[in-house]
Structure 1
Amino acid sequence: MNRVVIGISGASGAALGVRIVERLASLSTVETHLVISDAARRTVDYECGPEALTRLLSIATHHHPIGDIGASIASGTFPVRGMIVAPCSMQTLSAIATGRNDSLLTRAADVQLKERRRLVLLARETPLHLGHLRNMCAVTEIGAIVMPPVPAFYHHPKSVEDIVDHLAARAIDLLALSHAPLSKSWQGT
């Protein structure tokens, strides 16, 4: 069983985190551990509808409160395959870059880095200032993968849902859970 931690922070793009949890929950070989910031709860409700949070909590294998720094995912002795933070606000990215473990979300991310596990951050902000870019460089230097949710158009998406689904699949593929990618690959012209 592959364990995956999913963090959802308060940046716009809550549908990305929701879709990642949905895709992972559909895989029989994955156990999901979800942690959602207080701001993310508000964003999920606003962007995805009031039923989305209830559904999200019901499909995750485990849900950990943001303040529970004693949760299993706060320790490197709890083996997981990796973690995805989607969306990843600049505040969360900054906290991860500087090792500020003031919530379970940032502590779980720090654990991935110290244990040399994959940490995928769907950094969500535009435009970017130099501080954002420096924090992205800092987290990359300490081992994270920064994946801004920039849509690919080579698969000819027909809807926003198609774009969200492809980005979610790409993020999951970065954890290398299986040999077959979930996302549609470029096949050349």
Structure 2
Amino acid sequence: MKLSTIVFSVVALSLFTLTGCKQESATTVSKTESHEDLDHAEGEHDDHSVAGHGHAAGPNDGTIVDWGGGKFHVEFTVDHDKQESTVYVFGPDEKSAVPIDAEAIDLSISDPVMQVTLKAAPQDSDPAGKASRFIGNHEKLGVVQEYAGTISGVIDGTPYSGDFAEEAHDDHDH
């Protein structure tokens, strides 16, 4: 009898321990899932549209594009009336201007097909010889639509490129 009581106790304790571990693992997974859901709900960096490359959340109401795995970001904006695109260069936080030593960056739009060279247009806070804003014109930018394409440039000898796709906004005409 004593032996059977000991065996029963060991089996019961083992089952209790295993069940407790499984519940703990499920709780851990739930916390992780909740954390990821929270990040997406707050519009963190992972909340991208179109193959994870761009989303509308920029400080200038443009589409943010990752450059270099989060090291840099660029924001695509367009003024249809001026047939003009402006691209801003930001750091990892997607809002702090980062002036770069470049005379121009390239914008490629897939529909309608166009290539636009955006020339450095330094902001007042940019140091001499560097720019965090680039501007270019093309008559096809006068077409009111959602654009998709690639923005590319070189920073300190390293090429950077990022794909983007604008999404319709409810708060303004695009």
- TM-score normalised per structure 1: 0.24
Greater share of residues in strand: 2
- The structure whose RCO (Cα within 8 Å, separation 6+) is larger is 1
Greater share of residues in helix: 1
